[in-house]
Structure 1
Amino acid sequence: MVRLGRAAALARAAPSRVRGGNAEGPRRRPASRYRRRDPLPPARDGQPPHPRGVEPRRHGERPAVPGLRGQGRTGRRQDRRVTAPRVGIVLSAFAAQPAADLVAIAREAETRGYHAAWVGETSGYDAVTLMTLIALSTERLQVGSAVVPVQTRTPVVLGLTAASLNHCSNDRVLLGLGLSSRIIVGDWHGLPFSNSLQQIREAVEIVRRVASGERVTFEGAFYRVKNFRMTAPPPARPVRVVLGALGPEMLELAGEIADGVVLNWIPPEAVPASVERLQAGARKAGRTLQGFEIASFVRTCVTDDAPAAHATLARDITGYAIVDVYASFFRSAGYAAEVDALNAAWRAGDRAGAVTQISPRVLAGLGVVGDEAFCRRRIAEFARAGLTQPVVLPFVPPAAPDPRAALLRTLRTFP
């Protein structure tokens, strides 16, 4: 997934900053120094975050069509839950928390019925370490990276990583790979930068071959591997690789070579066009999208203060819209007038004026803000548009009196 450059970082630093871009049968959860007693506050309805009597689903099983969830404290029947096949959660939204708290939040997400927990990697926690902790602390939850840049680790290392994570998780890992920015790759890591799709293609091939246990010799434009073979046993099932994608070329590549895709900042109306690109790529490989994961991050804030949340969302969108690749994507999604006006104001040095160009229409398309009932309905609309997994990315206004509680309110609204 494309990372922000210096200009975007300036916008993100404007007055606000989002706080929130199978084995058979049960297995014994290993003892962990990260396990903490009662690490989370009670849920908003007064019930504990890990209620007894919750019937677990088997790994990969779709939730039953939900009905009414009984009585709330007011005696009124609660709203119907999202009827999407699967809903994910972005744990990177809780990045300000200690790692042990993130693990506890992942456990709660599993208890609540989330299908997957996703983590990113930029300048916070190492994605692989966090994924390992989550995998060892849960039993059914899928664990995905969104994304690990192929430019900062060799594909041999990524192949070993994928195999190791599959062993730790009983094949519950989705290895999300993508291309990062010149700043992250060149300035931060001091490595040669390329945004070539060929690098992704080569990396995915090597990752799969290494993780399968075969002896690998490879000569490509970006990578050279000579006579390497993993000595650890390969995982029981092939590793699953998903690609962070935005533009049409990367979408087609994902449809051709990957097991899924992670989208970003996409309104429901633009999902069908992205699916068409994925299908075009799949046809090149002589396959269909059967079993293909189509996930997308959806910025979500369950709140009673919609104006404050919308102001935060507008500043966040601005930080992306001044990056060329996202500006192009937003134009193709139907927001050309707003993006052009925003960039004109930004180039003129009017940062505050740029943010004001984010119209209510853009806010409604690119984010989900409102009370519990509205947010559930809206996330369901993303699923009906063609996503196999809407991924809730919680965010809160910076002035929220208790940001952690506000983030947990959003998490506890779904699935």
Structure 2
Amino acid sequence: MKLGLNLGYWQRSADDATETVRLAERLGYDSVWTAEAYGSDAFTPLAWYGARTSRIKLGTSVAQISARTPVATAMTAMTLDHLTGGRLMLGIGASGPQVVEGWYGQRFAQPLARTREYVDIMRKVWRREEPVTNDGRHYPLPLPDSIGKPLKSITHPLRADIPLYLGAEGPKNVALSAEIADGWLPLFAFPSKIREMYGEALSGAHADFDIAAMVMVIINDDVKQALNAVKMMLTLYIGGMGAKQRNFHADIIGRMGFADAAEHIQALYLSGKKDEAFHAIPDELADGISLVGPAGRIKERLEAWRASPVTSLLVMGPRDEQSLTTVRDLVLG
């Protein structure tokens, strides 16, 4: 199992994780990942950290497809991959209607079809075999009834096969990941339920398909206190990271077997009862998707992850040397 560090969103000038990334590289972590939602972008921090490291891989988890046209993302990826010596791992995702329509001002319709077109166009850019065209309805190239003409990138990519991951939660999107991508980035993974939930969707994956699961890791002798930190995150995602009519995070919690709890939590959160929503998170859910408690407990619970289809753990939480070293020893030792 490979080990990565997920830093999440960059929020402020003080949130410079350069020393943490350098430490992770020295400790043998395989990759570091950054995210975007509706604030900072995912690529700029990676460029910053990539300039200050030499070996650790650099991943976006995830870059939102509605934020950029396919060729813009392909150009950014190609440039960053060059500048960092071929270390980029490009994770993209469709996000959800609340962000896509409320922040980017675009329609969320047909996310699977849009993602497929998006990936196809990026790979055409990187392959550089001919001027890029696309007959799809979502990203037509060149634009019909215009003076535009097909173009071929003037920059030669360092790699025409930049590793591509999809952030996906629904079974159809996971199946798309298995079909067209190099890996899948699940936000919430309950290791003992992955095969039951996604076995059929993953059946088309190739042998080297990487399931890189994000997991909160909190080393703390007080298990309840550690679980509370996980519950705070879940409260926000289940309750507020999505519209009432469509919240993919709440949906996935439901498919894990907590549908009633997810509906109750969302209702409480949206009615302003955030504290009650927090207390409504089941311990079993918070514990199942995370690795928390004393090191010995985490070591025991890692066995469920090793028995699952997960091939990379992208840990969220550890930043100091002691925690990063302990996690390294537990996962890779």
**TM-score bin (small chain):** 0.7 to 0.9
- In structure 1, the partner of 2:137 is 221
- In structure 1, the partner of 2:182 is 259
- In structure 2, the partner of 1:233 is 156
TM-score by length of structure 1 reads 0.69
- In structure 2, the partner of 1:212 is 127
- In structure 1, the partner of 2:170 is 247
Secondary structure of 1:218's counterpart equals coil
- In structure 2, the partner of 1:112 is 27
Secondary structure of 2:117's counterpart equals helix
Whether 2:211 is the aligned partner of 1:298: answer no
**Contact 1:255–1:277 at 8 Å: present in 2 too?**
no
The Cα of 1:219 is off from its aligned counterpart by 1.9
The Cα of 1:157 is off from its aligned counterpart by 0.8
Q: Matches of 1:325 and 1:205 in 2, distance apart?
A: 25
- In structure 2, the partner of 1:90 is 6
- In structure 1, the partner of 2:112 is 197
- In structure 2, the partner of 1:51 is none
Against the structure 1 CA distance between its residues 164 and 290, is the aligned structure 2 distance closer, same or farther, given a 3 Å change threshold?
same
* CA displacement 1:81-113 (0-9 Å, x = unmatched): xxxx211111227755636x3222111111111
Letter in 2 for 1:181: G
Identical-residue share of aligned pairs (%): 27
Letter in 1 for 2:125: V
Match of 2:51 among 136, 139, 144: 136
Against the structure 1 CA distance between its residues 333 and 135, is the aligned structure 2 distance closer, same or farther, given a 3 Å change threshold?
same
Whether 2:273 is the aligned partner of 1:360: answer no
Count of matched residue pairs:
314
The Cα of 1:342 is off from its aligned counterpart by 2.8
Whether 2:60 is the aligned partner of 1:145: answer yes
Against the structure 1 CA distance between its residues 162 and 264, is the aligned structure 2 distance closer, same or farther, given a 3 Å change threshold?
same
Report 1:40-119 matches (<5 A): 85-92=1-8, 95=11, 98=14, 101-119=16-34
- In structure 2, the partner of 1:24 is none
Secondary structure of 1:264's counterpart equals coil
Q: Matches of 1:409 and 1:247 in 2, distance apart?
A: 36
Against the structure 1 CA distance between its residues 137 and 349, is the aligned structure 2 distance closer, same or farther, given a 3 Å change threshold?
closer
Against the structure 1 CA distance between its residues 128 and 104, is the aligned structure 2 distance closer, same or farther, given a 3 Å change threshold?
same
Whether 2:328 is the aligned partner of 1:412: answer no
Q: Matches of 1:343 and 1:236 in 2, distance apart?
A: 44
* CA displacement 1:169-217 (0-9 Å, x = unmatched): 3322111010123343333333444452111000000011101223211
Letter in 2 for 1:310: L
Q: Matches of 1:103 and 1:376 in 2, distance apart?
A: 28
Against the structure 1 CA distance between its residues 413 and 96, is the aligned structure 2 distance closer, same or farther, given a 3 Å change threshold?
farther
Secondary structure of 1:151's counterpart equals helix
Question: Larger helix proportion, structure 1 or 2?
Answer: 2
Letter in 2 for 1:338: A
The Cα of 1:142 is off from its aligned counterpart by 1.4
Give 5+ residue unaligned stretches, structure 2: 143-149, 329-333
- In structure 2, the partner of 1:36 is none
The Cα of 1:273 is off from its aligned counterpart by 3.2
Larger Rg: 1
**Contact 2:126–2:159 at 8 Å: present in 1 too?**
no
Q: Which shifted more, 174-183 or 192-201?
A: 192-201
Task: Tell me: higher relative CO, structure 1 or 2? Use CA pairs within 8 A at least 6 residues apart.
Answer: 1
Report 1:238-387 matches (<5 A): 238-280=161-203, 282=204, 288-322=205-239, 323=242, 324-343=247-266, 345-346=268-269, 350-387=273-310
**Contact 2:112–2:173 at 8 Å: present in 1 too?**
yes
Q: Matches of 1:294 and 1:225 in 2, distance apart?
A: 32
The Cα of 1:256 is off from its aligned counterpart by 0.8
**Contact 1:379–1:390 at 8 Å: present in 2 too?**
no
Q: Matches of 2:66 and 2:280 in 1, distance apart?
A: 35
* CA displacement 1:61-89 (0-9 Å, x = unmatched): xxxxxxxxxxxxxxxxxxxxxxxx21111
Q: Matches of 2:235 and 2:207 in 1, distance apart?
A: 36
TM-score by length of structure 2 reads 0.85
Secondary structure of 2:298's counterpart equals helix
**Contact 1:179–1:195 at 8 Å: present in 2 too?**
no
